[in-house]
Amino acid sequence: MAIYKYKVVDANGKNKKGDIDAPNQEAAVNKLKADGYTVVSCAEAGAMDKDIQIKINKKIKPRDLSVFCKQFASVLNAGVTIISALDMMSEQMDNKTLQGVLRDTKTYVEKGGTLADGFRQHAKVIPPIMISMVEAGEMSGNLEICFERLAVQFDKQSKLNGKIRGALTYPIIVLIIAVIVVIVMVVAVIPQFSDMFADMGMELPAATKLLLWLSDLFRYRWWLVLLIVGGIIFLYKTFAATDLGKHVIGKFTIKVPIFGKLTVMQAAANVSRTLSTLMASGISLVDGVEAVSNMMSNIWFREALLNAKDQVMKGVPLSKPIRDAELFPTMLPQMIKIGEETGNIEDMMDKVADYYEEQVDMTTEQVTTAMEPLTMVVMAGIVGIIVAGVYGPILSMYNGMDNL
């Protein structure tokens, strides 16, 4: 299969362009004509075009999905057909990946397929919750309501992810600056003092020896540094891809000080919000729990929810396996149990989601506040080592001269 870039005119006289996969140019042209287009040009994409195609084939951000769902619901409420709505949205979306998904889905629906199945063809970039809710909306005839709920869901998810990133931004920036400062010092500054230290003929402090060693390493064996860093990254990714690695890393993210609490709160908020949204759209509890489990990146939460799904299928209340997992905050299974007793579990989950999203906000502020002094301590330690390494021998030399 090859990628062909095309320019066509549709039945309404509107110009369109895009990419299409086909075994050869003739097949690509025939496919476009079969879709009702008048082909203006169709040529195989160059190497740079193919690179771009690969580059943009990535996950769609929740914020982009929220904007699409909100606009799509508005268009459907205005009486526009699904095919026309997909056509309109594909032209308006800035996200190239989402544009391609909408174009392909429109073609799929024009051939008689369902909207949910059209999205399912792009399950690598479209979240499972969106596919499940669209399918439920088509079956119930409430597609507009499902897209409105999805817009709220993705908007909440985007804000939640933004808060988490905000808590991590400051320490990451400080760490990067610290690494740059150290590299500049050992490459450009320390060599200026190395000859002087060698002429002193005295035992150098440990901090000075460390700086001289780092200077030689980055100046003459920089390739070794790159090799070690690359090896560590490769080993980490390889280990993280194994079942043992997923469990070890997943447990670490839950138990690590400061950030572990944030991870648990975010998982509770995502589970509550997503389950509430799915059940409010008419999806069964079993299917809802399975869909939520597929969205969890941490394998411990995913396995706990899959086990909960199996227990629910056996007639066990959802609150019991959630409580027995001992991963989620104690309030979550308690609120689920109240929802089960009152028969209004989706509303209870919605309230729980609001609570835990507020907790994530508060915890994020606490993490940010806690990280500021910690990063200052790290920076002070780095500066202290550099100062001690540079001025330690000089002060020792002056003290020796005073004792003469």
H or E stretch covering 251: helix 243-255
Averaged pLDDT, 253-274: 84
pLDDT tens, position by position, 245-260: 999 999 999 988 777 8
**Maximum average pLDDT range among 84-88, 165-169, 366-370:** 84-88
Q: Is the pLDDT of residue 18 over 50?
A: yes
CA pair distance 392, 381, nearest whole angstrom: 15
Amino acid of residue 184? V
CA pair distance 327, 309, nearest whole angstrom: 16
Determine contact, residues 311/322, Cβ cutoff 8 Å.
Answer: no
CA pair distance 190, 353, nearest whole angstrom: 54
Determine contact, residues 334/260, Cβ cutoff 8 Å.
Answer: no
Out of 7-21, 23-37, 234-248, 253-267, least confident range: 7-21
H or E stretch covering 339: helix 331-342
Q: Is the pLDDT of residue 273 over 50?
A: yes
Q: Is the pLDDT of residue 56 over 50?
A: no
Task: Give me the domains of the chain, ranges plus CATH numbers.
Answer: 2-56 (3.10.20), 62-156 (1.20.81.30), 259-362 (1.20.81.30)
Q: Is the pLDDT of residue 51 over 50?
A: no
Q: Is the pLDDT of residue 207 over 80?
A: no
Task: Give the DSSP letter of residue 59.
Answer: P
**Letter string b/e over residues 29-44, b meaning 16 or more CB atoms within 10 A of that residue's CB:** bebbeeeebeeeebee
Going 146 to 149 to 155 to 160, the CA torsion angle's sign is: negative
CA pair distance 305, 308, nearest whole angstrom: 5
Determine contact, residues 295/305, Cβ cutoff 8 Å.
Answer: no
Backbone angles phi, psi at 80, to 5 degrees: -75, 140
Backbone angles phi, psi at 112, to 5 degrees: 105, 0
CA pair distance 182, 158, nearest whole angstrom: 36
Averaged pLDDT, 374-387: 79
Mean pLDDT, the chain, whole residue set: 81
At 198 the pLDDT is 64
